[in-house]
């Protein structure tokens, strides 16, 4: 059962995607395999809805964990081909339209057999990301926890990409596979660090905060700026390794999508560097026409050239991406 059957589901998924990210919507329209385009919209839409539910709509840790557990149960039932419980099943509420996207994706992945493993791996990894998000909210976290968070997110995004764009075409399954998305997530965490603090997420590891001069109350202090600079360098090293990976991906549309994704976050790194590694509350320039043209130009340059990776940076990038 490749793809998602049913126009209402497709319309829902495409609408959520377009409202959340015009760039993602256009990338899917232009680059996704026609046979798996509906899956691409459903993956993005369900990821977006899942994140919004956990971050903004549910009132406490208990309800958030219960919500993630419910999604896991739905996925397990869908992959097993088991009937879904109905409202008569005690506390089981009816399946929402957004959850219907997950159910159909799970059934599609199971029907594809081995060929559906990237899709099911993506769904499972995203649920792991959400559970980690719930458990780390409002408390200090270690670098190991943040690295695991980034690794799971990289698995979810990378496997979704390979399922929907150039499905079945050869691609490396080595330490470089998740490097590009790892770099993107490191940049993403820096971009949203100030905003995430207000929501209760601390994206600075406890080990750094224990250093003299490091404080969340003063993100522009020298110690914090040094840490931001280190993360920027790590993200750039991940992007360089990721480009080398993309050169070995057979499908040209998948390569284009990967370079466009990288360029979107390299622009953030450029802005952070221009600010002297002082993080801001927001980076609105990326939403302007000029910002969009800059991202497009960077994506083209990324596609035409592969950056060299320094001898110190490459092992660090691969270690985080594993």
Interval 37-48: pLDDT, tens: 999 999 999 999
Query: Do 188 and 310 lie in a common domain?
Result: yes
Query: Do 131 and 172 lie in a common domain?
Result: no
pTM value is 0.89
Compute how many other C-beta atoms are within 10 angstroms of the C-beta atom of residue 32.
23
The answer to whether residue 6 is domain-embedded is yes
Query: Do 319 and 174 lie in a common domain?
Result: yes
pLDDT tens, residue by residue, 237-263 = 999 999 999 999 999 999 999 999 888
The answer to whether residue 93 is domain-embedded is yes
User: Residue 198 in 3-state DSSP?
Assistant: helix
HSE-up of residue 152 (Cα within 13 Å, Cβ side): 17
200 backbone φψ class: left, alpha, beta (φ>0; ψ -120 to 50)? left
Q: CB-based contacts of 220: which residues, under 8 Å, 6+ apart?
A: 278, 279
* DSSP code at position 203: -
Overall number of domains in the chain: 2
The boundaries of the domain holding residue 187 are 168-322
Query: Do 220 and 115 lie in a common domain?
Result: no
The answer to whether residue 144 is domain-embedded is no
Query: Do 227 and 306 lie in a common domain?
Result: yes
Query: Do 180 and 320 lie in a common domain?
Result: yes
Query: Do 119 and 173 lie in a common domain?
Result: no
Query: Do 5 and 131 lie in a common domain?
Result: yes
Query: Do 197 and 102 lie in a common domain?
Result: no
Looking at 137, 154, 186, the residue that finishes a domain is 137
Query: Do 215 and 283 lie in a common domain?
Result: yes
The answer to whether residue 294 is domain-embedded is yes
Which string of b and e fits 186-196 if b means at least 16 CB within 10 Å? bbbbbbbbeeb
The answer to whether residue 162 is domain-embedded is no
- In the numeric block, which tokens belong to residue 61? 């840790």
pLDDT one digit per residue (tens) for the chain, 322 residues: 344 444 488 899 999 999 999 989 999 999 999 999 999 999 999 999 999 999 999 999 999 999 999 999 999 999 999 988 775 655 577 899 999 999 999 999 999 999 999 999 999 999 999 999 999 999 999 999 999 999 999 999 999 999 999 999 999 999 999 999 999 999 999 999 999 999 999 999 999 999 999 999 999 999 999 999 999 999 999 999 999 999 999 999 999 999 998 888 999 999 999 999 999 998 886 554 444 445 444 545 555 555 555 555 667 777 777 7
């Amino acid at each position: 059962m490749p793809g998602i059957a049913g126009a209402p589901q497709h319309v829902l998924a495409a609408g959520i995607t377009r409202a959340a990210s015009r760039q993602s919507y256009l990338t899917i329209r232009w680059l996704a395999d026609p046979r798996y385009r509906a899956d691409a919209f459903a993956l993005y839409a369900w990821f977006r809805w899942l994140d919004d539910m956990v971050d903004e709509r549910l009132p406490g840790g208990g309800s958030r964990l219960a919500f993630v557990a419910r999604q896991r149960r739905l996925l397990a039932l869908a992959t097993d081909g088991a009937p879904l419980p109905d409202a008569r099943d005690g506390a089981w509420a009816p399946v929402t339209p957004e959850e219907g996207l997950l159910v159909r994706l799970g059934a599609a992945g199971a029907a594809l057999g081995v060929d559906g493993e990237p899709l099911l791996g993506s769904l499972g990894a995203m649920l792991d990301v959400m559970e980690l998000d719930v458990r780390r909210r409002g408390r200090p976290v270690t670098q190991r926890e943040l690295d695991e968070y980034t690794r799971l997110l990289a698995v979810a995004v990378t496997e979704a990409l390979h399922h929907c764009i150039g499905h079945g075409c050869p691609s490396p399954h080595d330490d470089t596979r998740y490097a590009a998305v790892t770099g993107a997530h490191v940049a993403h965490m820096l971009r949203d660090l100030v905003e995430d603090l207000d929501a209760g997420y601390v994206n600075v590891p406890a080990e750094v905060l224990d250093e003299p001069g490091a404080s969340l109350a003063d993100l522009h202090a020298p110690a914090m700026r040094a840490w931001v600079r280190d993360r920027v360098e790590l993200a750039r090293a991940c992007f360089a390794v990721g480009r080398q990976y993309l050169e070995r991906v057979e499908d040209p549309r998948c390569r284009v999508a990967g370079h466009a994704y990288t360029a979107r976050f390299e622009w953030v790194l450029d802005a952070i560097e221009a600010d002297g590694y002082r993080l801001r509350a927001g980076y609105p320039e990326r939403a302007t026409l000029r910002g969009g043209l800059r991202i497009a130009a960077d994506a083209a340059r990324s596609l035409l050239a592969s950056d060299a990776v320094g001898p110190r940076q490459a092992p660090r990038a691969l270690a985080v991406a594993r």
